[in-house]
Amino acid sequence: MAMNREHHRHSKRVTATKRWQVLRHLILERDGWACVDCGQTRGRLEIDHIQPVRNRPDLAFDPANCATRCSPCHTRKTRIECGHPSPIQTPERDAWAQAVADLATNTQPAKG
């Protein structure tokens, strides 16, 4: 989908750098190699930009703007962002996105 390609085009300029590879490892260590949303430690872990690179390129290498997320949580967050194309991030929107993410987590049926 077009919006997703746009997202990756922006983050690629960051993630293709040596600097990012070093920072990525620092973030993984900081977060204990676990998804900050669901605590998943197995599977594919990705580094998510809390403020998307396309909105805040100045925060691309700021550890405070990075969080470890598993692939499903990262995809879900990206999809929420892409569903709201406004380039302006506000605390209200962040809170809303978090509330939606929490809701999605909480409504999943418990297994085992």
Q: Residues in the site for Zn ion, rule: CB under 5 A?
A: 35, 37-38, 40, 70, 73
Cα–Cα dist 10/55, whole Å: 9
Task: Find out whether 62 and 48 touch, Cβ atoms under 8 Å.
Answer: no
Cα–Cα dist 10/49, whole Å: 11
Nearer to Zn ion, 40 or 78 (CB): 40
What's 52-95 look like in SS3? CCCCCHHHCCCHHHEEEEEHHHHHHHHHHHHCCCCCCCCHHHHH
Cα–Cα dist 111/8, whole Å: 33
User: In the complex, what is the shortest distance from the CB of residue 87 to Zn ion, in angstroms, rounded to a whole number?
Assistant: 26
Nearer to Zn ion, 37 or 81 (CB): 37
Nearer to Zn ion, 90 or 108 (CB): 108
User: In the complex, what is the shortest distance from the CB of residue 37 to Zn ion, in angstroms, rounded to a whole number?
Assistant: 4
User: In the complex, what is the shortest distance from the CB of residue 109 to Zn ion, in angstroms, rounded to a whole number?
Assistant: 16
User: In the complex, what is the shortest distance from the CB of residue 43 to Zn ion, in angstroms, rounded to a whole number?
Assistant: 9
Nearer to Zn ion, 7 or 74 (CB): 74
